[in-house]
């Protein structure tokens, strides 16, 4: 029989029921951590109005807006110039390459997006009168190049009479209410998941003797999970990047997935600090036990390997 070290005490092996409870607690902690991280990131996105508006602008197909504007513009130009529809169509097509036309379309889309995020019950208001004013000299110049006499005041009258252009937004008109509902729901998810993390983490620490080592283990898991989700979201954003030929909807998703990843990275950094603190305290305690000659063998490390 090997000699016994009088300064070394070995505890009995952990009871299977305790080991099983630890495994369940660690699994529940991991699930709660995932829900907390995704919920926290999602809530951060939900309150980031600038990102959501950018995503919405990417999703809205500018070609649809251009088609609506072109159809209205052709009819108005044909009526204002008393010319045939073919000439009006040619003028409308020609001005599409001008910076004034591009600025006009962008301004209309911006106003439409602002309308989507207006308080519930307030529809999109498109100030067409002021928006299309820069197009008047461009339109007149195009008609003159075709030797078509037009009255500038009449062109301005047609454009000013537009009032508003109704763009069919469908269900998108309720986007403000949807975002508010999502923000409330994600807040609830974050609170419940955080409470579950605290509860399951406390249970896991109560089932082991070296609690600061368990604290380090739990914090390490949170840090690695946060860093992993940040990386996954960045890769997903790159995969959906509209610059790679993806659809407008995919482009909008790319904007959302690529935003607010710093929240996860900051959480990963904080978890690393906690893990380092737990490891440092455990190391100090172990050193103190060695100096006092009461070093204990830790069967809990075998439990960690099985979880």
SS3 sequence, 12-38? CCCCHHHHHHHHHHHHHHHHHHHHHHH
Is 83 within the bounds of a domain? yes
Does residue 112 form part of some domain? Answer: yes
State phi, psi for 295 to the nearest 5 degrees: -70, 135
Spatial distance between the Cα atoms of 240 and 236, rounded to a whole number of angstroms = 6
Angle, alpha carbons 258-261-265 (nearest 5°)? 150
Q: Could you tell me where the DSSP H helices lie in 163-260?
A: 175-206, 211-239, 248-257
Instruction: Answer whether residue 1 is part of any domain.
Output: no
Take residue 51 and report the two structure tokens written for it: 């990102």
Residue 6, in any domain of the structure? no
Sign (positive or negative) of CA dihedral 219, 220, 224, 225: negative
CA distances from 233 to 26, 155, 182, 190, 255 (A): 25, 50, 19, 18, 11
Read off the pTM. Answer: 0.65
Residue 5 lies in a domain: no
pLDDT value for 212: 87
Task: Establish if 108 belongs to a structural domain.
Answer: yes
Residues 6+ apart with CB under 8 A from 233: 41, 257, 258, 261, 264
- Supply the pLDDT for residue 193: 95
The answer to whether residue 198 is domain-embedded is yes
Number of structural domains in the chain: 1
Say what the pLDDT of residue 303 is. 40
Let me know if residue 2 belongs to a domain. no
Alpha-carbon distance of 14 to 59, in angstroms, equals 57
Tokens of 137: 């000299």
Q: What's the CA angle centered on 214, arms 208 and 217, to 5 degrees?
A: 145
Residue range 173-198, pLDDT digits in tens: 456 777 888 889 999 999 999 999 99
Q: Which domain holds residue 140?
A: 13-307
Per-residue pLDDT tens, the chain, 307 aa: give them.
Answer: 444 444 434 443 456 667 888 899 999 999 999 999 999 999 998 888 778 777 777 776 656 666 777 777 777 777 666 666 777 778 777 887 788 888 877 777 777 777 667 655 555 556 666 777 777 788 778 777 777 777 677 776 766 665 555 544 454 445 677 788 888 999 999 999 999 999 999 999 988 888 888 899 999 999 999 999 999 988 888 877 766 555 666 777 777 888 888 888 999 999 899 888 888 887 877 766 656 655 454 444 434 433 3
């Amino acid at each position: 029989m090997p000699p016994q070290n009088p300064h070394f005490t070995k505890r009995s092996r952990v009871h299977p029921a305790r080991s099983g409870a630890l495994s369940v607690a660690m699994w529940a902690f991991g699930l709660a951590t995932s829900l907390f991280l995704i919920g926290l990131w999602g809530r951060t996105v939900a309150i980031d109005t600038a990102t959501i508006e950018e995503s919405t602008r990417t999703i809205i197909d500018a070609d649809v807006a251009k088609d609506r504007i072109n159809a209205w513009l052709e009819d108005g130009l044909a009526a204002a110039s008393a010319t045939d529809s073919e000439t009006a169509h040619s003028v409308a097509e020609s001005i599409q390459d001008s910076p004034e036309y591009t600025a006009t379309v962008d301004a209309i889309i911006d106003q439409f997006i602002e309308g989507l995020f207006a308080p519930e019950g307030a529809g999109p208001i498109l100030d067409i009168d002021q928006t299309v004013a820069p197009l008047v000299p461009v339109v007149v110049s195009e008609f003159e190049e075709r030797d078509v006499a037009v009255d500038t005041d009449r062109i301005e009258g047609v454009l000013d009479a537009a009032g508003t252009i109704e763009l069919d937004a469908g269900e998108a008109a309720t986007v403000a209410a949807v975002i508010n509902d999502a923000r409330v729901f994600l807040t609830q998810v974050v609170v419940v998941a955080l409470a579950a993390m605290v509860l399951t983490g406390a249970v896991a620490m109560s089932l082991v003797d070296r609690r600061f080592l368990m604290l380090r283990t739990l914090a390490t898991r949170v840090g690695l999970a946060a860093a992993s989700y940040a990386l996954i979201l960045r890769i997903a954003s790159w995969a959906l990047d509209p610059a790679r030929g993806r659809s407008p909807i995919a482009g909008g998703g790319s904007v959302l997935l690529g935003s607010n990843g710093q929240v996860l990275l900051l959480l990963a950094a904080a978890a690393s600090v906690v893990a380092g603190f737990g490891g440092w305290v455990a190391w100090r305690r172990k050193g103190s036990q060695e100096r006092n000659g009461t070093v204990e063998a830790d069967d809990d490390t075998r439990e960690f390997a099985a979880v």
